[in-house]
Amino acid sequence: MTAGPRDLEVCLPDRPGALADLGQALGAAGVSLEGGGVFARAGRAVAHYLVDDGPPRWRPSPPRAWAPPSSATSS
């Protein structure tokens, strides 16, 4: 049985750059965020995320060659 996603709540100062600092720390630790948000009120910010112990559930699509839109016309 896997544990699945867990809640992570972090209280931050309500100042420019605080969320960027958190993102850099989580990235350096290899934490994968599944979703979440940040809310600020009364001089305090609360970041609330879902994190998973396993690999990310999404996979980026492989790059595709760009092609202009077709100009199909009906006769």
Q: Which of 8, 25, 28, 29 has its CA nearest to residue 17?
A: 25
Enter the tokens of residue 37.
């948000």
Task: Read off the CATH number of the domain in which 20 is found.
Answer: 3.30.70.260
Domain residues for the domain of 33 are 6-51
Asked, for residue 26, whether it belongs to a domain, the answer is yes
Q: What does the H/E/C string look like for 27-38?
A: HHCCCCEEEEEE
pLDDT tops 60 at residue 2: no
Asked, for residue 41, whether it belongs to a domain, the answer is yes
Between residues 21 and 67, which one has the greater pLDDT? 21
Asked, for residue 65, whether it belongs to a domain, the answer is no
Q: What pTM does this model have?
A: 0.58
Number of domains in the chain: 1
Asked, for residue 62, whether it belongs to a domain, the answer is no
Asked, for residue 60, whether it belongs to a domain, the answer is no
Asked, for residue 74, whether it belongs to a domain, the answer is no
